[in-house]
Every structure is written in structure tokens, then in C-alpha cells.
Amino acid sequence: MMQYFFQSSNFRGKEKQYRDLLRGVFLEEISHVELVQHTINQLLTGSGEPTPGNASIDKAPLDEAVKHANPHHFIVGAQSSLPVDAAGNPWNGSWVYSHGNLISDLLDNVVLES
């Protein structure tokens, strides 16, 4: 996502349609992140309550999940999505590759998307 953003922002060529293409892909990737964030926020809503979800109806395994909840979501994240991976490592820009060369950038993107 951020790779497409930096590639489109740093593109200096005269061919505006390529910059617009990269920017369009960036916007599409942002919408995917928004969908994932919305899903995470919906799953975490009410997860600290005594009977979360449908646990009071059928005693689903959700009870066990709440007992062993990640306190990070309650203390730091206010029970919302965070820009971290599954291990809690924060997102950083070390995975962004922007060469300033359109062909190199597009080849990197093809490799990363496949």
C-alpha cells in the first residue's frame, strides 16, 4: 500500500497516466486495509463484556478467547485495530521500495503481488 503511494508521489515522468495508475492502486489497497480494520473493530466491540458475542447462548469457544485476550488491545489500542503484525511488531517503512524508475517499480510490484 505505502509502496504504491511513494512510487506515485516520487514519479517524475511526463506520462501522467502511469502516476495515476500507481495512485489508483494505492487507493484500492487503502480500501482493503479499511475493510480489514472495520472487521477487526467489529470483532473487538464488546469483547471485554461478561458475555461477549453469543457466549451466553451456546457457550461458544469465544469465552476462552476472552479469558486469554491480548491486553495490548485494551491498554494501548482501545479495543481497535492497530498498525502491527500478529506478533505486535509495528509497521515501518523498511518494506517500501521506490526506485524512481517506473519499470523497476512495476517489476517489484508484480513480484510482490504474485
Residue 20 known to bind ligand: yes
Average pLDDT over residues 107-114: 89
Q: Give me the mean pLDDT over the 62-83 stretch.
A: 68
78-109: pLDDT as tens digits: 778 888 887 778 888 888 888 888 889 889 98
Confidence class for position 2, pLDDT limits 50, 70, 90:
confident
pLDDT at 67 over 90: no
pTM score of the predicted model:
0.68
CA 11 – CA 19 distance, rounded (Å): 6
- pLDDT 10s digits, 39-66: 888 877 766 666 555 555 555 555 555 6
Average pLDDT over every residue of 31-46: 86
Higher pLDDT, 12 or 32: 32
16 φ/ψ angles, rounded to the nearest 5 degrees: -60, -30
Paired residues of 90 in beta bridges: 84
Question: Got the DSSP string for the chain?
Answer: -HHHHHHHHH---S-HHHHHHHHHHHHHHHHHHHHHHHHHHHHHTTTTSSS-TTHHHH--THHHHHHT--HHHHHTSTTS--SB-TT-PBP-GGG----S-HHHHHHHHHHHH-
Would you say 113 is a known binding-site residue? yes
Task: Confirm or deny that 85 is annotated as ligand binding.
Answer: no
